[in-house]
Amino acid sequence: MVGRDQAAPPADQLAAMDLTDAVQNHAFSDRVLIRSIVGRPDGGAGLAGQRVRAAGWVRTGREQGKGTFAFLELNDGSCPANLQVIVDAGVAVLSKLVATGTCVVVDGILKVPPEGTRQRIELRVEKVVHIGEVDPAKYPIPKTKLTLEFLRDHLHLRSRTNTIAAIARIRNALAFATHSFFQEHHFLYVHTPILTTSDCEGAGEMFQVTTLISEAEKLEKELIKNPPPSEADIEAARQLVSERGEAVKQLKAAKASKADIAASVAELNKAKESLSKLEERSKLKPGIPQKDGKIDYTQDFFARQAFLTVSGQLQVETYACAVSNVYTFGPTFRAEHSHTSRHLAEFWMVEPEIAFADLQDDMSCAEAYVKYMCKWLLEKCLDDMEFMAKNYDKGCIDRLRMVASTPFVRISYTEAVELLEEAVRGGKKFENEVEWGIDLASEHERYLTEVKFQKPVIVYNYPKGIKAFYMRLNDDLKTVAAMDVLVPKVGELIGGSQREERYDVIRERITEMGLPLEPYEWYLDLRRYGTVKHCGFGLGFERMILFATGIDNIRDVIPFPRYPGRADL
């Protein structure tokens, strides 16, 4: 349920605020951020007596003193805490201010409230500058507790709730942390394409991008409005070309003037052009163009099949093999008809690639990156994390602290399977059977992280049959140099590998997996010309937010979730 209690400012934990007497307006707005008042270590008490302009949306409002004044809890999204605002009836019509969702801009004086109250500071309003009214009877986000499922039906308004706003700030902090981590370690940020002609995973569950359908619909309408020429029309045009050609011949035979011949030739060319257009138009047929019984993609926008990317990895490797350390961070897409709480059709991936590095380096980078993000949230977003701990997952802050400070366990896939088999022999029941060669299920991953080790685990050297073609084949010829970072709460958080840099081996792997070579010729060129040992991984950004916040459903940690049957806004 979505709690609406005001989160008290964590006095000793928030980022250090300016404790000088003057509170500053936002650089690009004529107002003071609520965070810069209530987020100070003193909760804003040191600002008493200052005149400020505050703005935001009313979380809760109530008239008091038989309608002589009103209390408003105002929030502008800058922090989870609200600013208490007191408005006298002589300043504004109170009934227009108190409805949840109302937008207000107010000028007033900051005052210390009476002893015994929860707030450290409140704003006594002198002037109401703006009111964006709300009809409480129609507003879909009332101040009562609302389920996250309910809020998914109101995507355009759900960010006004405490929960979704807190998740948005946590998401923002993790994105900032991501760029900070890789920039500090001298990685180059590369924008990889969203439209692609290659399938990184070889899974085939891709969204196709085509203009053939819209072009076919457009042509169909146009042909109804302006039907193609008949055979008789074309024959008449051919006859005209013949007649015009004959006229030119006769003028030349009669040694007519150059001007007359030129005029006749111009008429002939005009007739030929008209015939060409008619013949071309006669070939137009309704429907999607086909060739040899298959869709003719040479007629499509890119003259070949195109898709929404499932990963930027292959493309970003081209830069890793030139400028060494790179990363991409962007949306990826999977046309998988899955309705689980862990799957989205559109999600964000962080994908670094490191040149002159092997699997051990890859695991070290992944571990350092996850720890960095956990520390970042603890240092810079603790007020929002405390809100999540209070309302959703009591252990989320302890989990972040544990991950930030604990070395990750590293075990081979074979060792992981042996531990799971040992658990089964000891009476543990798994829904998915455990045997060497399986792709570990979420229940297996969570057993290892939550029960066996009670900390993050990196599993490496997976069977080649369950991993992608680009992962480096180990000397045993059975496993590949792949690794997954598993964490409590969500299971797999990161998947990565050392990439196969040997031309002959990767070519054979592509063929072995039944993939066509032609779309990957450019990828093979990276091995033909100046090949280099390199590695990388992908982190599912929404999964990191699930891990951090303790939220159960991935649809609640992305602003505009896309999944089968839903693509609102």
CATH number at residue 545: 3.30.930.10
Mean of all residue pLDDT scores within the chain: 91
Q: What is the pLDDT of residue 119?
A: 87
Q: What is the pLDDT of residue 203?
A: 54
- pLDDT band at residue 3 under the 50/70/90 scheme: very low
Share of the chain above pLDDT 90, in %: 73
Q: Assess whether 257 and 388 both reside in one domain.
A: no
| Comparison of pLDDT for 69 and 201, the residue scoring more | 69
Task: Give me the mean pLDDT over the 521-549 stretch.
Answer: 97
Asked if the structure places residue 24 within a domain, the reply is yes
Asked if the structure places residue 8 within a domain, the reply is no
pTM of the model: 0.87
Q: Assess whether 56 and 204 both reside in one domain.
A: no
Query: Vertex 295, ends 289 and 300: CA angle to 5°?
Result: 65
Q: Assess whether 189 and 240 both reside in one domain.
A: no
With the C-alpha atoms ordered 148, 149, 152, 158, is the resulting torsion angle positive or negative?
A: negative
Report the C-alpha gap between 115 and 316 in whole angstroms: 59
Query: Vertex 411, ends 402 and 356: CA angle to 5°?
Result: 95
Asked if the structure places residue 1 within a domain, the reply is no
Q: What is the pLDDT of residue 204?
A: 63
Burial class, 536, CB count within 10 angstroms (exposed 0-12 / middle 13-18 / buried 19+)? buried
Asked if the structure places residue 564 within a domain, the reply is no
Alpha-carbon distance values, 372 to 66, 225, 330, 538 (Å)? 53, 63, 20, 16
Task: Give me the mean pLDDT over the 215-223 stretch.
Answer: 84
Q: What is the pLDDT of residue 19?
A: 46
Domain boundary among 86, 120, 139: 139
Q: Assess whether 318 and 371 both reside in one domain.
A: yes
**Interior/surface letters 277-295, b for 16+ CB within 10 angstroms, e for the rest:** ebeeeeeeeeebbeeeeee
- pLDDT band at residue 281 under the 50/70/90 scheme: confident
Q: Assess whether 260 and 184 both reside in one domain.
A: no
Token duo for residue 237:
């045009």
Q: What is the DSSP string of 344-402?
A: -SEEEEEEEEEET--HHHHHHHHHHHHHHHHHHHHHH-HHHHHHHHHHT-TTHHHHHHH
Under 8 Å between Cβ of 443 and 342:
no
Q: What is the pLDDT of residue 201?
A: 52
Task: Give me the mean pLDDT over the 95-114 stretch.
Answer: 95
Q: What is the pLDDT of residue 176?
A: 98
Q: What is the DSSP string of 8-69?
A: PP-TTTSPP---SSPPPPPTTSSS--THHHHTSTTTTGGGTT-EEEEEEEEEEEEEETTTTE
- pLDDT band at residue 71 under the 50/70/90 scheme: very high
Q: Assess whether 449 and 316 both reside in one domain.
A: yes
Which of 13-22, 437-446, 479-488 shows the lowest mean pLDDT across its residues? 13-22
Q: Assess whether 28 and 131 both reside in one domain.
A: yes
Q: What is the pLDDT of residue 207?
A: 94
Report the C-alpha gap between 494 and 359 in whole angstroms: 13
Q: Assess whether 539 and 392 both reside in one domain.
A: yes
| DSSP state at residue 325 | E
Report the C-alpha gap between 448 and 440 in whole angstroms: 11
Asked if the structure places residue 567 within a domain, the reply is no
Query: What residue type is 396 in one-letter code?
Result: C
Q: Assess whether 224 and 171 both reside in one domain.
A: no
Q: What is the DSSP string of 389-446?
A: HHHT-TTHHHHHHHHHHSPPEEEEHHHHHHHHHHHHHTT---SSPP-TTSPPPHHHHH
Task: Give me the mean pLDDT over the 517-528 stretch.
Answer: 93
Q: Which helix (H) or strand (E) holds 339?
A: none
Number of independent structural domains in the chain: 3
Alpha-carbon distance values, 135 to 58, 69, 98, 132 (Å)? 13, 20, 11, 10
Q: Assess whether 229 and 82 both reside in one domain.
A: no
Under 8 Å between Cβ of 508 and 470:
no
Q: Assess whether 216 and 183 both reside in one domain.
A: no
Domain that holds residue 174: 166-208+306-556
Share of the chain above pLDDT 70, in %: 95
**Residue 110 confidence (pLDDT) above 70:** yes
**Residue 342 confidence (pLDDT) above 70:** yes
Q: Assess whether 191 and 108 both reside in one domain.
A: no
Token duo for residue 516:
């066509």
